[in-house]
Structure 1
Amino acid sequence: MSATFLGHTSGSPAIDVLIPAIEKDLATLPYVIDSLRRYVQHPITKIYIVSPNNSRIKNLCSRKGCAFVDETTLLPFTKKDIHYSSTRWNRSGWLYQQLLKMNGDTLCRENYFLVIDADTILIRPHRFRSNGKSIFYCRNWSQPEYFRTYRKLLGTKAPSPRSFVTHYMLFERNKLAQLKRKIEAKHGLPWYTAILRSINKKQQFGFSEFETYANYIYSENPSAVILKNAQNKSLKTSASSLSKGQTTKLSKTYRSLSFHQRKGYTRTSRP
């Protein structure tokens, strides 16, 4: 896959980008970065790669003009302090990267920042703000536990018009900070502690940063939100093996491609 830079749509607000990554993501991360610069129709001020202190990821950041951020500087704890596992699965790292994203408002400087998973590549143009409204890309299924945790955190039912778990999302820094303050006020705890204590750790998928943030925004003002179908395709092949012709063909049906290397993700209907 190669990148041809298309520029941005006039009038679109500038954004930062935050990508949590670990070494296994190096197979896709260069393509993710290129796809952002090609298909995001906003001026991108800075791309932050949040990662363990890894020389290969640092070298990639240098080559691609991205800012490397040591993940241990973003939160007052690290992955080893999270104990979220069973005899069959370990979701501690998965939860840690969600909390890193939730603290992106303290790292990014633009009013808006895009979070994208390090294994997901855009293959069509994307806008995330239009006429003063936020655009959320959605799908039709989620994990019921996400909504149970939302109720525990905020004391209200998530409106959940669609599922917002689609591998990338635009956050508004002020709104994200407001959400975290609301969680802290309700629980009398730091927002991350409230989240960790609200999760049913016997369940494998107990929290979603995307469901939590987007449902909060939607509940505040549904008319200020535009919902679009995500049209994401998961592939078992590698990003490097896709030809330009294959990508062009896929782009007629899909907006993005994901190259997941995870196991045990059970698809469950939205409540």
Structure 2
Amino acid sequence: MAESQLTVITPSYRNDYDLAVDLCRSMDQFLQVPFKHFLIVPKSDIALFAPLRSANRILISKEELLHRHGFYKIPFPKRIYIPGLVDIRTREQWYRPGVGRVTGWLVQQLVKLSAPELADSDYYMFIDSDNVLFRPMKMTDLVSSDSIKLARRPLTPDMHEHLLWHRNALSLLGVAQFDDTKYNYIGHFIVWKRDAILALQQQIEKISGEDWRTTLSKKKAVSEYILYGVFCETVGKAANYHVLVEPELTCSYWTSSEEDLNVPEMAKSLKPTHVALHIQSTIPMPMEKRRRLISALADSAPPKPAA
């Protein structure tokens, strides 16, 4: 993997601005691979995110990336509020002729799958705003036996939505028979290969007979990470795009309440291979408390093994 060819992509928006600030700061300090970082935000948030621009950090709007492919943001209000009667926060909605309404959730996946349009790189890493590096990430963390690592873990029977995404991935790729273990490829600091993304797009178009964005927009229930992973282990298997591994870079914490988060218990999940922390952005927690928590966890992490 050439050290000059890593493009990092982070979709974000105004509610996650402070998280994005911390992510960018940690990348500049700890990502020890030459990189270009694309922050992709709504057009209305460009001014807010402008201070994060730098020589290697580029800010673009989702509208700029998607309008060229016929997607238009529906101007819904972000909140419908009638005192004492209604208080509804609406989700982002898009429209594409021939498809109809497309959710903001799916649009974000289309943005990631459009990575080759952003930069002529061989490798693309995806990092959400609610991640932060706490120690160096080097080339050796991303490769094994000269191949790019792709993390996966088995799906379990109770993961109904993930299993639906897996079934839809097989359908989109034209895989009629699949009897192997089903894996979840959703994660953080995921690296995809340019040639694999382009081959995936071409396979979807071959099966559907139409543009891959149109096909995915109509399918609706799609996970970009599972789709990419299933492609690499089925149709693209012979190309040996990746070496498949257990997740080893990020320690993630998911909960509905900050009261469930405490350093002694959280630290039990930290492994020597972890270089980053992910605390779900929807957990209601003041930023200063979040920063103190991350700092304490970083201090508690077991030593990283020598390269």
2:41 corresponds to which residue? 51
What amino acid is the match of 1:67? I
What amino acid is the match of 2:109? Q
What amino acid is the match of 2:149? I
- Alpha-carbon distance in structure 1 between the residues aligned to 2:217 and 2:26: 33
Contact 2:154 2:182 in 1 (8 A): no
2:146 corresponds to which residue? 132
Measured after TM superposition, the shift of residue 233 of structure 1 is 1.9
Q: State yes or no: 1:68 paired with 2:85.
A: no
Q: State yes or no: 1:99 paired with 2:130.
A: no
What amino acid is the match of 1:115? F
Contact 1:124 1:256 in 2 (8 A): no
Measured after TM superposition, the shift of residue 167 of structure 1 is 3.0
The 1:43/1:194 distance shift into structure 2, 3 A limit, reads same
1:221 corresponds to which residue? 237
What amino acid is the match of 2:151? Y
Among 122, 126, 132, the alignment partner of 1:111 is 122
Q: Which runs of 5+ in 1 are unaligned?
A: 1-9, 84-89, 200-205, 264-271
Measured after TM superposition, the shift of residue 109 of structure 1 is 2.1
Measured after TM superposition, the shift of residue 250 of structure 1 is 7.0
- Alpha-carbon distance in structure 2 between the residues aligned to 1:192 and 1:139: 27
What amino acid is the match of 2:245? L
What amino acid is the match of 1:186? I
Q: State yes or no: 1:190 paired with 2:180.
A: no
- Alpha-carbon distance in structure 2 between the residues aligned to 1:43 and 1:251: 26
What amino acid is the match of 2:228? Y
- Alpha-carbon distance in structure 2 between the residues aligned to 1:95 and 1:227: 27
Q: State yes or no: 1:16 paired with 2:3.
A: no
Among 164, 170, 178, the alignment partner of 1:151 is 170
The 1:115/1:261 distance shift into structure 2, 3 A limit, reads same
Measured after TM superposition, the shift of residue 119 of structure 1 is 1.6
- Alpha-carbon distance in structure 1 between the residues aligned to 2:251 and 2:102: 23
Aligned-residue CA RMSD (Å) = 3.6
Measured after TM superposition, the shift of residue 173 of structure 1 is 1.4
TM-score norm. by structure 2 comes to 0.65
Name the % identity.
21
Contact 1:111 1:173 in 2 (8 A): yes
Q: Which runs of 5+ in 2 are unaligned?
A: 75-92, 96-100, 285-307
If you compute each CA radius of gyration, which structure gives the higher value, 1 or 2? 2
Report the more deviating stretch, 170-179 or 153-162. Answer: 153-162
Contact 2:8 2:124 in 1 (8 A): yes
TM-score norm. by structure 1 comes to 0.73
The 1:150/1:164 distance shift into structure 2, 3 A limit, reads same
- Alpha-carbon distance in structure 2 between the residues aligned to 1:91 and 1:262: 26
